[in-house]
C-alpha cells in the first residue's frame, strides 16, 4: 500500500513527537538563543520529511531525508550541550529530560 500523505510516514510521526518533547523540556529554559536553536532544528526534521515527500520525486525525497537526518543530529548535539550545561551548573534535578533527548 502506497503512502498517500506525509502524515502517514513513520519518521514524520516520530519527528512530530520529538518536537513536542523538545518544547516540553525547554518550556522553562531561560537561554532564548539555545532554546530557539534546538526548537528550530527539531521542527526542521519534521518539515524536511514533509517537504521532501511533497516533491513527488524519489531523488528529491531522499535529498530532504538527508537534510532531516542532519537536523536530527543537530538536535542530538544540542541536547548534549544542554545536558552538560545543567550538570556543570549543579541542576541535576533537571537533567532527566535532557538525557531522554540524547537517546
- Give mean pLDDT, residues 69-74: 98
Question: Cell 517537504 maps to which residue?
Answer: 51
Whole-number pLDDT of residue 84: 86
Q: How far is CA 65 from CA 17, 19, 26, 51, 72, in A?
A: 17, 17, 26, 9, 10
| Three cell numbers, residue 43 | 521542527
Task: Please give the mean pLDDT across all residues of the chain.
Answer: 89
| Three cell numbers, residue 70 | 542532519
Instruction: Note if the pTM is more than 0.75.
Output: yes
CATH classification number, 11-102, choose in 1.10.150.20, 1.20.1290.10, 3.50.50.60, 1.20.1440.60: 1.20.1440.60
Q: State yes or no: pLDDT of 98 exceeds 70.
A: no
Q: In angstroms, rounded to a whole number, what is the distance separating the alpha carbons of residues 94 and 29?
A: 11
Whole-number pLDDT of residue 93: 52
Q: In angstroms, rounded to a whole number, what is the distance separating the alpha carbons of residues 75 and 78?
A: 5
Amino acid at each position: 500500500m502506497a503512502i498517500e500523505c506525509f502524515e502517514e510516514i513513520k519518521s514524520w510521526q516520530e519527528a512530530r513527537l520529538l518536537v513536542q518533547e523538545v518544547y516540553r523540556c525547554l518550556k522553562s529554559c531561560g537561554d532564548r538563543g539555545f532554546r530557539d536553536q534546538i526548537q528550530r532544528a527539531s521542527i526542521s526534521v519534521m518539515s524536511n520529511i514533509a517537504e521532501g515527500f511533497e516533491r513527488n520525486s524519489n531523488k528529491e525525497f531522499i535529498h530532504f531525508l538527508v537534510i532531516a537526518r542532519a537536523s536530527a543530529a543537530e538536535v542530538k548535539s544540542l541536547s548534549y550541550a544542554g545536558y552538560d550545561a545543567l550538570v556543570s551548573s549543579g541542576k541535576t534535578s533537571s537533567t532527566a529530560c535532557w538525557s531522554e533527548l540524547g537517546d
